[in-house]
Structure 1
Amino acid sequence: MGSSKCLLISVLLPFFLSIFHFLNICSSLLTQPLCNDFESFALLQFKQSLKINVSASGDPKTSSWNSGEKNDCCLWDGVLCDAGTGHVIGLDLSSSQLYGSFNSNSGLFHLVHLQKLNLAGNDFNYSQIPPSIRYLSNLTHLNLSLTNFSSQIPPEIFELSNLVSLDLSFNPLRLQKPGLKGLCENLTSLKHLYLDEVDISSPVPHTIANLSSLMSLGLSLCGLYGEFPTEIFKLRNLQFLSVKHNQDLRGYLPEFHSSSPLRILRLTNTNFFGKLPDSIGNLPSLYELDINTCNFSGLIPTSIGNLTTLINLHLAINNFFGQIPFSLASLTQLSQLDLCYNNFSPHTLSWLGKQTKLTLLALRQTNSYGDIPSSLKNLTQLTNLRLYQNQLTGQIPSWLANHTQLTVLDLGENKLHGSIPQSISRLVNLEFLRLAGNNFNGSVKLDLYFNLKNLNKLELSGVHLSFPFTSTVNASTPKLIFLGLVACNLTKFPIFLRFQHELEFVDLSHNDIHGQIPKWISNMGKQTLLFLDISFNYLTGFESFNHTSLILPWASLRILNLNSNKLNGSLPIPPPSIVEYSAKSNTLTGKISPLFCNLNSIEILDLSHNNLSGMLPQCLDNLSKSLFVLSLRNNDFRGILPAIYMEGSTLKAMDVSYNQLEGQIPRSLSNCTMLEILLLRNNHFNDIFPSWLGKLPSLKVLSIRSNGFHSSIGKPKSNFEFPKLHIIDLSYNKFTGNLPYEYFQGWNSMKVANLTYRKVDNLVTYMFTGANPIYLIAFTTITSQNFVWLEYYCFSLVLTNKGIETVYEKIQDTLLVVDLSNNRFEGEISEVIGNLRGLHLLNLSNNYLTGHIPSSLGNLTELESLDFSQNNLSGEIPQQLLQLTFLASFNVSNNHLMGPIPQGQQFATFQSNSYLGNVGLCGSPLTKNCKSYGTSTQPPPNPKQGEGSNFPSQSDWVVIIMGYGGGLVVGFIIGNNLNVRKLEWVVKNLRRRQ
């Protein structure tokens, strides 16, 4: 019996003990301390110091805070108390619609037991982070991201030595003096540091590598520069690293060990360079690699196929070459793959098909060829397919219409042929469709695309279209934002445009549209239109939009291109919003309306090649504050050039050639310190040499040809005048005295061959890919929520080459020219001219020059054209000229030269008319034999022989001077959620990459 009782007790004892423990817990919960009255009061004071912005997103958590029955602050939304003491240790008010300025007296800073504080996603109205933050010395987690705090980050934050997580990102803050180095030296326990978009403007300190616990580092768009410390990559706990959008930050990737826990690596839009190491495949946890728009090169290692956890892979806009590795087929978890704009070898898309989770596939300009592979059928989750600008052939497969989730389909600029399948109309979710630039046959009815109710961007340029000109367009017709119908064989404006009230971009250029622009076109995007290009048609004018003057109706228009039509009558007046206005190559007449003086935002104005007349209005000084390109070339403007250029002028290029302007060049042009191109040729200016222009630091091109400039040029006042000059044309004036040798000595930009200049604000040089040259262009941009458009404007120039006036439709940035012909210069040609080693064209003809041809001209190894004809030169033609292996045109006719003509090399290509009028010359190609002179057939020793020249060959040069028929080169980038900041880095890095 006793043993039975013992057994029963042993069985029931654990049960009773568990009940006792449960009751004890309940008792302790029932007796948990209430919120401290002092802390409750502090929270209410904090609440009262701020407002609730009901229009902001989020949940107003503080609305539950009150001093009534529910006065225990531990029960309030977002408040966390210590279970033992009742002190407030956590406060999460993220996205709580709080609004107002923060000050040091805030009740928040009385919560000295706080360990976690999250105020992210509120708006503190650009106030400063108060120094009183130091009183929260127990903080381990501080999140103030997206709160509109501004100014310098207070050094008192550095005193919060217990912080393991600090997030101040996406605020207009500065971290300077003390900077990032001081932060890292004080907050040594950090595991998570996010300072994205904080202005740091310093190198990345090596002390970050001392933060041995660091797991996350976010430093995107911080103005970082210098060399990125590679030891940071080797932090043993680092999982997240983002330094993207720091354009001046250099670095390279180290060798990675398989123990690295790195999961996310973002280097987009930095200057990281070198190869992707083979050891990139040693990162088993990596699921995002984003290195778009860097300077990486070499082969993509096949080991990248080891990263089987990758979800996002972005390698676009780099210099990768060779084959796209087939190992990409192993990345079956990929959701986004972007390889655009690299230098891959020609390849098919055979590696595609197993990545069945892909939603974005971007292979623009990747040198892909062959048919669109049937393996793409497997990618059923695709929403964004971009195969733009490749060598794809065959037809658009009908099965593509089964990808009904597609919102973007971009097959433009390929070699696709056949008909466009009507099944595309089944892609009911499609928002953007581009089929432009292919070889489709037949005619396509545009109303086929009216079934795509979500369509808002349509680019069919180069496709022959037929339109329902008379059909009724109903309310279900898609509302377009972007429409590109370039070279679509249009003969009329499509009537459906009349009902497109949301259009922002319309390009109908290079069609066959005749007659007047109908009045109803004003309804097209009347409030929304940003871009309109109707150039290269046969349009004669606008049906009057009002009774007083031709004021165009689009209130938001930024870019308008009316080039190369048959427009007559008065010049149409754009709205004040206009940024670029081009109406060149028409037959417009009359004066420039004073209303043009109200265009305070205009940057590019091109009215060249018309019949405009009258005097230029003085009020154009309003434009000089924003204008950076002004072209009035080939009109009938008279009078003086207005002295309208004030200090701070943004003008970078001006062309008023081929008019009837007279008087002096306005000295106020010296205020245009950004001026790069000045073209004044073929007017009636009467002035001395404008030596004061030599102080302009960026002037590259100066042409004052065919005017009444006179007197001696004189000497420069310093050795630093015209420091960037590439092209100078003073021909057909009345200059006297000696050649300006002292200026020659200062033209340093002409002393080096193959110069390359990069971006200078909005006036830039643009490098075309491959072996093509670099040209001077300007660009403007327009940005909306739906697209970013980059508009490139090319400058043209007329030069005398090979004795013929040649139109350079684009000005090559490496082209170096000196033309002083058809003046009254006298004296000898100095040996100094041989220092201008980069020269391509040199013309001193039709002067009164005497003496010998200097042998130093043999140093001008880039020279393509040399003209000394119609002078009084004597002596022999130097044998050193045989070193000019690019020389394509040579003329020394009508001088007093004598002796043997150099034989061989380029001289074997010149005809006898190059030497006519020199009775003392002998040797081929002349019939006169050289009896008293030895005939040399070899050039003298050239100390630089064997060094290569990167300047184009003669055949290349012919292509260059032909240029292109149009004056505009355009391109666009369409993407989601683009803004001006992103645009700047896209633009910069596209140029850098190319």
Structure 2
Amino acid sequence: MLFLHSAHHLPTISSPYKGSDHSPPWLHPVCHDDESFALLKFKESFTINQSASACSKVSSWKPESGDCCRWDGVKCNADTSHVISLDLSSSCLYGSINSTSSLFQLVHLQSLNLAENHFNFSRIPTAFRQLSRLTNLNLSASAFSGQITSKVLELSNLISLDLSYNPLKLQKSGLKSIAQKLTNLKELDLSGVDISSTVPNIFANFSTLTSLFLRDCGLHGEFPIEIFHLPNLQYLLVGHNTYLTGSLPDFNKSSPLQYLGLTGTSFSGELPNSICNLKSLYYFAAGNCNFSGPLPSSLGNLTQLILLNLYVNRLHGSIPQSIFRLVNLENLNLFSNRLSGTVEFDLFLKLKNLKSLQLSGNNISLLIKPACTNATFPKFEILTLSSLGLSEFPDFLRNQDELGLLDLSHNKIHGQIPKWMLNLSKNTLWALDLGFNSLIGFDKLPVILPWTNLQYLSLDSNKLRGSLPIPPLSVISYSVSNNNLTGEIPHLMCNLSSIAFLDLSSNYLSGLLPQCLGNLSDSLVFLNLHDNNFHGTIPQIFVEGNKLRMIDFSQNRLQGGLPRSLANCTMLEALNLGHNQMNDTFPFWLGILPKLSVLILRSSGIYGAMRNPNRNFDFPNIRIIDLASNDITGKLPSQYFKNWKAMQVGHVKGLVYMQANGTSTTPMGK
């Protein structure tokens, strides 16, 4: 006893094995042969991508390597040598798993992590109940499917259970059963699991819980307000449950909440002043909810906040000055509320860690002083300042070299885009929106815009003059409609091999449509050249296998026949060739397109009689067809109306003909 007592006072001796995976062999347990065999058999039941570096865990599992307690991902009990922990997360395992798997021979397992593998949509085996010692079970994002077996609920020692992001379904009474049977649980993550039920009131008695993640589960009904008062709850995420209602309580000073995610729910009411009691809160996301009332000034007491997202609510009043005390804040999103008043932008200088600031969609007037050229200004990654009354480009942008998204749309910015903008975050900018201002062009237009990773570019509704700006090869969406651009479409545009959305409508562009537009067929989904001065025939640019869903060439001076290559557009939903000078008969051959629902040929030079439809060309999904102001003769065959069954069902609201990439075309022609 004297020796044991003295041992506590022995000086610390630096070991040559400290910080190393190679501790002395006499301290290592030696794996049991049957467990080593079971592990090898488990490995052999899967296909493993040996070339992937992330799959190195099982590469050391070989019969000749001896002791399995030394294998990556395996941990053994120091006294009994039994395998007690198995971590094979992100190990590139692919294949099915069932109750005959050798995994279930490892009955001493206390912790099992199989997350981020692919188990080929297997059901969760009932044999999990054999692992009765399990305290931690993680099967997240591992392609399990079907209903969650009730046998998991027999694992009464579980402290942590993560079944998230699998196509799983929990029986209706499942949440209640979890609270009743897994009474030791501290961490529960069922995000992405189909639960489709209310949250039972019994969860308010789940006093051991520290983490509750139920994101995107189809929850509905009233969220029990008492759950917010669970004495140990630190992490609560119930976002993206559209029909989940609730309100925030008066928070206690003893609340340990650190993470609160309510985004995309129907929570409502005001933000309570008592929110200041959440002294440990660092993440508060309640965007796209129904919260109303003012922003409480007590938010300024949440000094640990890193993220504050309250976008798309009905909050009103001014932004409280206390917000600028949140010196740890990295993300502030107040987009699309009813906030008002004048905000001095230099106040954000105090928030040195701020990386994302989104204020658009309010009635705020933003006052930016010249002093904002201060070199210590935060380095933004996301900045949305649309609809804030700006009359010129904020000068502080000169110092921004890490921006990813910049939105200055719907302001009053006029004149030329300054030269220094072309040096703005050249390598990081992926989205730029300067639409709905009064810009007349670039101070010096380069051959190709310089942002090498730009994917989304909008210059809509300005007063841009001269030739068409050419975006970089990385662009996915490019919109420059409603400007005063002139000239032809440059052949450089045909190099945009990733572009999906191209809108050059309502300009003064002219010339022939270049044949090389066919180069874009592999990626292009939306093509709008409406209301320009293009002439000549439409080239045969629509190759087989293209992805086009919407084409609008209306209000030009196009001539000749309709290109027969349009029949290759098997994904096409809307086609507008109205108000041109074409010369062709009715294109019955377009009736083969299975998804075509809108066909506009108004005033386009279509002539002759419409023949009876061929059963192979019957426009199976057509809902809107406009043939007005043409030279069509004879009667419209009644058989068309019998075939056009899509007109008899469904409803096209107003003049919204289609939507592509979130952009509504209303209407497609003037």
Structure 1 counterpart of 2:141: 197
| Gap change, CA 1:407 and 1:478, over 3 Å in 2 | closer
Q: CA deviation at 1:661?
A: 1.6
Q: Shift of residue 533 of structure 1?
A: 1.9
Which stretch shows the higher mean deviation, 502-511 or 601-610? 502-511
In structure 2, how many angstroms separate the alpha carbons of the residues matched to 1:168 and 1:285?
A: 22
* 1:391-426 CA-partner distances (Å, limit 9, x unpaired): 444444344444434333444444444443776544
Match of 1:61 in 2: 21
Is 1:725 the counterpart of 2:627? The answer is no
Per-residue deviation, residues 128-168 of structure 1 (Å, max 9, x unmatched) = xxxxxxxxx97564322233x34436889812442244746
Distance 1:474 1:386, change over 3 A: closer
Task: Name the residue aligned to 1:507.
Answer: 407
Instruction: Evaluate the alpha carbon distance shift between residue 112 and residue 217 of structure 1 in structure 2; reply closer, same or farther with a 3 A threshold.
Output: farther
Q: Measure how far apart 1:371 and its partner are.
A: 3.5
Cα contact 1:309–1:331 (8 A) shared by 2: no
Check if 1:119 corresponds to 2:62: no
- Report the secondary structure of 2:441's partner residue: strand
Moved more, 499-508 or 112-121: 112-121
Paired position in structure 2 for 1:287? 210
**Structure 1 residues 60, 569: CA separation in 2 closer, same or farther (over 3 Å shift)?**
farther
CA deviation digits over 1:260-309, x for unaligned, max 9? 33433323344432322223323222222222334322222344356332
CA contact (8 A) 2:258 2:281 kept: yes
Residues in 2 aligned to 1:523 and 1:643: alpha-carbon distance in whole angstroms: 39
Deviation digits for residues 888-945 of structure 1, max 9, x if unmatched? Answer: xxxxxxxxxxxxxxxxxxxxxxxxxxxxxxxxxxxxxxxxxxxxxxxxxxxxxxxxxx
Does residue 228 of the first structure (1) align with residue 170 of the second (2)?
yes
Residue 467 (structure 2) aligns with: 570
- In the other structure, the counterpart of 1:493 is 393
SS at match of 2:188: strand
What is the aligned counterpart of 1:315 among 222, 226, 238? 238
Q: Which residue of 2 aligns with 1:984?
A: none
CA contact 2:579–2:602 (8 Å) conserved in 1:
yes
- Contact (CA 8 Å) 1:600, 1:622: kept in 2 or not? yes
Contact 1:685 1:708 in 2 (8 A): yes
Of the structure 1 ranges 641-650 and 704-713, higher mean CA displacement relative to structure 2 is found in 704-713
Q: Return the TM-score normalized by structure 1.
A: 0.57
Give the letter aligned to residue 152 of structure 1: G
Matched, 1:778 2:637: no
**C-alpha separation between the residues in 2 aligned to 1:688 and 1:773?**
26
Match of 1:811 in 2: none
Conserved in 1, the CA contact under 8 Å of 2:327 and 2:351? yes
Aligned equivalent of 2:424, options 524, 540, 560 = 524
Q: How far did 1:734 drift?
A: 2.5
> CA offset at residue 521 of structure 1?
2.3
- Within the candidate set 651, 655, 671, 2:548 is matched to 651
Q: Say which SS state the counterpart of residue 471 (structure 2) adopts.
A: coil
- Specify the alignment match of 1:540 in structure 2: 440
- Distance, in Å, in 1 between the alignment partners of 2:238 and 2:56 is 43
Amino acid at match of 2:63: F
Distance 1:737 1:214 in 2: 81
Q: Which residue of 2 aligns with 1:465?
A: 367
State how far apart, in whole Å, the 2-side matches of 1:523 and 1:186 are: 58
Structure 2 partner of 1:980: none
Q: Which residue number corresponds to residue 108 of structure 1?
A: 62
Q: Corresponding residue for 1:599?
A: 496
1:175 to 120, 134, 150: 120
Structure 2, unaligned stretches of length 5 or more? Answer: 6-17, 41-51, 76-80
Partner letter of residue 73 of structure 2?
A: L
Whether the aligned pair in 2 keeps the contact of 1:497 and 1:524 (CA below 8 Å) is: yes
| Aligned-residue offset at 1:624 | 0.9
After TM superposition, give the deviation of residue 755 of structure 1 in Å.
Answer: 7.4
Is residue 306–residue 330 contact of structure 1 (8 Å, CA) maintained in 2?
no
CA contact (8 A) 1:80 1:90 kept: no
Query: Residues 271 and 291 of structure 2 are in contact (CA less than 8 Å); yes or no, is this contact kept in structure 1?
Result: yes
CA-CA distance at 1:654 after TM superposition: 0.5
| 8 Å contact kept, 2:162–2:189 | no
Q: How does 1:55-454 map to 2 (within 5 A)?
A: 61=21, 73-74=25-26, 79-81=28-30, 108-110=62-64, 114=68, 117-119=71-73, 141-147=85-91, 149-152=92-95, 158-164=101-107, 165=109, 167=112, 169-175=114-120, 179-180=122-123, 183-185=125-127, 188-189=130-131, 191=134, 192-200=136-144, 202-204=145-147, 206=149, 208-209=151-152, 212=155, 215=158, 217-222=161-166, 224=167, 227-230=169-172, 256-257=179-180, 260-305=183-228, 307-320=230-243, 324=247, 326=249, 332-347=255-270, 349-350=272-273, 352-376=275-299, 379-420=302-343, 425-440=349-364
- Residue in 2 that maps onto 1:795: 665
- Counterpart secondary structure, 1:420: strand
Q: Taking every aligned residue pair, what percent have the same amino acid on both sides?
A: 36
What letter is aligned with 1:506? Answer: L
Task: Check the 8 A contact 2:188/2:212 in 1, yes or no.
Answer: yes
Secondary structure (helix, strand or coil) at the match of 1:368 reads strand
Q: Deviations over 1:943-978 (max 9, x none)?
A: xxxxxxxxxxxxxxxxxxxxxxxxxxxxxxxxxxxx
Contact 1:612 1:636 in 2 (8 A): yes
Quote how far apart the aligned CAs of 1:631 are. 0.5
Whole-Å Cα distance in 2 between the matches of residues 173 and 213 of structure 1? 27
Determine the C-alpha separation between the residues in 2 that align with 1:754 and 1:404: 51
Q: Distance in 1 between matches of 2:200 and 2:657?
A: 35
- Structure 1 unpaired stretches of 5+: 1-14, 23-57, 65-71, 92-97, 122-136, 239-255, 441-462, 757-771, 780-791, 800-806, 808-994
Distance between the aligned counterparts of 2:664 and 2:622, measured in 1?
19
1:674 deviates by: 1.3
Quote how far apart the aligned CAs of 1:613 are. Answer: 1.5
Quote the offset at 1:751 in angstroms: 1.9
> What count of residue pairs does the alignment treat as equivalent?
633
Rg larger in structure: 1
Selected match of 1:737 from 631, 634, 645:
634
Residue type of the alignment partner of 1:283? F
Return closer, same or farther for 1:366/1:695 CA change in 2, 3 Å cut-off: same
TM-superposed deviation, 1:630: 0.5
Task: Give the Cα separation in 1 of the matches to 2:617 and 2:508.
Answer: 40
Quote the offset at 1:576 in angstroms.
0.9
Cα contact 2:501–2:524 (8 A) shared by 1: yes
Q: What SS does the corresponding residue of 1:310 show, helix, strand or coil?
A: coil
SS of the residue corresponding to residue 273 of structure 1 reads coil
Q: CA deviation at 1:635?
A: 1.2
Determine helix, strand or coil for the equivalent of 1:608. coil
* Whole-Å separation in 1 of the counterparts to 2:21 and 2:69: 19
Which amino acid in the other structure matches residue 796 of structure 1?
Answer: T
Structure 1 residue 617, shift from structure 2 partner: 1.1
1:682 maps to: 579
Give, as a single letter, the amino acid of the residue that structure 2 aligns with 1:218: D
Name the residue aligned to 1:769: none
The separation in 1 between residues aligned to 2:524 and 2:392, in whole angstroms, is: 34
- The structure-2 alpha-carbon separation of the partners of 1:168 and 1:384, relative to structure 1 and needing over 3 Å to count, comes to closer
Name the Cα RMSD after superposition.
4.1
1 CA distance for matches of 2:598 and 2:19?
Answer: 61
Output the CA distance in 1 between the equivalents of 2:140 and 2:232.
26
Q: Is the 8 A contact 2:351 2:378 kept in 1?
A: no
Q: What amino acid is aligned across from residue 778 of structure 1 in structure 2?
A: A
Q: Which string of whole-angstrom CA distances, capped at 9 and with x for unpartnered residues, describes residues 59-90 of structure 1?
A: 7736x7xxxxxxx7445xxx43379xxx9999
Question: Are the aligned partners of 1:145 and 1:167 in contact in 2 as well (CA < 8 Å)?
Answer: no
User: Secondary structure of the equivalent of 1:265?
Assistant: strand
**TM-score, normalised relative to structure 2:** 0.82
In the alignment, the residues of structure 1 paired with residue 88 and residue 367 of structure 2 have an alpha-carbon distance, to the nearest angstrom, of 55
CA distance in 2, matches of 1:506, 1:512: 16
Amino acid at match of 1:81: V
Aligned equivalents of 2:70, 2:84: Cα separation in 1: 6
Q: CA deviation at 1:598?
A: 0.8
Distance 1:318 1:727 in 2: 35
